[in-house]
Amino acid sequence: MNSSIIEPLRSAGRLHRVFIDGEWVVPQSQVRASVIDPSTEEPIADIALGDAQDVDAAVAAARRAFTAWSASAAESRAVLLDRVHTLILERAELFAQAISLEMGAAIGFARSTQVPVAAEHIRVARDNARSYAFVTHRGDMAIVREAIGVCGLITPWNWPLYQITAKVGPALAAGCTVVLKPSEQSPLSALLFAELMQDAGTPSGVFNLVGGNGPEVGAALSAHPDVDMISITGSTRAGVLVAQAAAPTVKRVAQELGGKSPNLILPDADLARAVPAGVAAAFRNVGQSCSAPTRMIVPRARLQEVERIARDAASSFVVGDPRLQQTTHGPVANRAQFDRVQEMIGVGIAEGAQLVCGGLGRPEGLSRGFYCRATIFTAVHSRMQIAQEEIFGPVLAIIPYDNVDEAVEIANDTVYGLGAHVQGQDLVAARAVAARIRSGQVHINYPAWNPHAPFGGYKRSGNGREYGIEGLEEYLETKAILGFQDASAARSG
C-alpha cells in the first residue's frame, strides 16, 4: 500500500512542493521532514517544509484571487464544491489508505468514518452556499453578509482530511480565499486534497497549500497583515500562540482546541447500552479526538457493574496493524503522542487510580510501533491529573458520584468545554442535565453524528464554531446598508 500512495506523489513532484496560485512550486525553504509510519516507526517519505517567504507568496495569490472569487455568484461556488465532493467520493479509497499510512488509523475506520465525514463537510458547505441568505432586509436597511477575506487555515494530524474540509468548505462557500497549513506529521492526505482541488478546476489563488511547522508557517500566517482570519484546530497551547501572533493585526481568530469531555451516566441509564457505547466513543480514533468523552461519570452504587461492562467492552478491541481489516484500533499517530500516553498512564497509577484494564507498554505481541494498551482507570476523582489533563490517547477515567448535582459539578470541573454526553432513560431529566453542562455540544443517548450541528468550545476549548450554518458564518462579515430600501419599497415610492 505504501507505494500506491507515495510513488505517485513522489513521481509528480508533490512531496517537495507547495501549491500556490494554481501551481506546484518548489518552496523557498530547503528544509525537509520525514513522514513516519506509526505502525512501524520507519520513515516512508520526506516532504518539503515551507517558510515565511512561501506564506507571503501564497497570501499574495489569495489576495489577488479574492476580488473575483468573493464577487462570484454563490451558485458558482456551490458548483465548485459539488465537484470537490464528487472527487472525494471517487478517491475515497486513496484518501483512506493515505490516512491509515500517515497517522495509523485502522483502515476500516478510515474507510467508514475518516473519509465519509470529511466528504459531508463539503456537501453541507455546497448546500449552504445555495440556500444561505447573504442579503436580508430589515425595514429600509440591507444586512449584507460578505466574505471576510483571505483566511489562514491550520489543521491537525488526528483527523487530517476531516479538519481540512471542515474549514475549506465553508470558507470557499462564503467567498473567501484560503491558505492551508496542514500538519507536517500527516501531510499525505493534504497533498492529495490539493491535487483534488486543482483537478476540480479551482481558480488560481483561491486555494493554496503551504506545508510546514507551527513556529515557522503557522506563526507567519497568524501574524501576516494581509490575512483577515485564522482558523486553527489544535492544542490549547497552539491556539494561545496563534491568538497572540494574530493580535497586533486584529484579525478574527477561530479556535477549536482541547477537551476533557464528560460522559454523565444517570442513575436510570441502561448500563448494558450506555457503558459499551461510552467506551467505544472514548476510544474512537484511538482516543485522538478533542471531544472524546474520556471521563465517564457514573453512580457510585453501580460502579462495579460499570467496571465489569467497560472491561468487557475494551476486551473486544483488536489493536494491531492498521492495514488489516480486522483491526479496530491502530497505533497512536506519532512518537510524541505515544510518550505522552505512557507518561499519563504512569501518572494515573502513581495517583492511586485503579486499573480496570490496560496499563503501561505496548499490547502483547507488538514489539514496535506506537501501539498503546486500551487503558481504563476507576476510582478516579477530579483532582487527579488524569481527570483534568487532555491525554489524547486510549485512556478512559471512570469517576463515581453520589447524586446528580455532584455529577454535574464533576462534569463542569474542567478548564475545557468542547463536548459532553448524557445517558438516561428519562429524557426530560437528561435534557435538564444537558442544559447544566458548560460545553459547546451535548449528546443525549448517543445520537448520530450531524454535520449541521455547530461544533466548538466554551472556556479553554476555544471560540467560534465549525460545521453547518454557524461554521459558514464564521467566514462572513456583517455590513449594514442604511437607506437601502428593498425592491417593494422602491417601487411603491
Residues designated as active site? 256, 290
For 223, the enclosing helix (H) or strand (E) is helix 219-223
User: Residues near 275 by Cβ (< 8 Å), separated by ≥ 6?
Assistant: 265, 296, 306, 309, 310, 313
Calculate ∠ Cα 330-332-337, nearest 5°: 170
- Tell me the DSSP string of 388-440: HS---SSEEEEEEESSHHHHHHHHH-SS--S--EEE-S-HHHHHHHHHHS-SS
- Cβ burial of 474 (10 Å; 0-12, 13-18, 19+) is buried
Distance CA 209, CA 244 (A): 23
Reduce the DSSP state of residue 179 to 3 states and report it.
strand
> How do the residues of the chain divide into helix, strand and coil, expressed in percent and rounded to 5?
45, 20, 35
The amino acid at 142: A
Residues in the chain: 493
Residue (of 460, 424, 474) closest to 445 by Cα position: 424
The amino acid at 304: Q
For 147, the enclosing helix (H) or strand (E) is strand 141-147
- Which grid cell is 447? 445520537
Tell me if 408 sits within 8 A of 264, measured CB to CB: yes
Residue (of 58, 188, 200, 64) closest to 126 by Cα position: 200
- Which grid cell is 335? 512518537
- DSSP conformational letter for 384: S
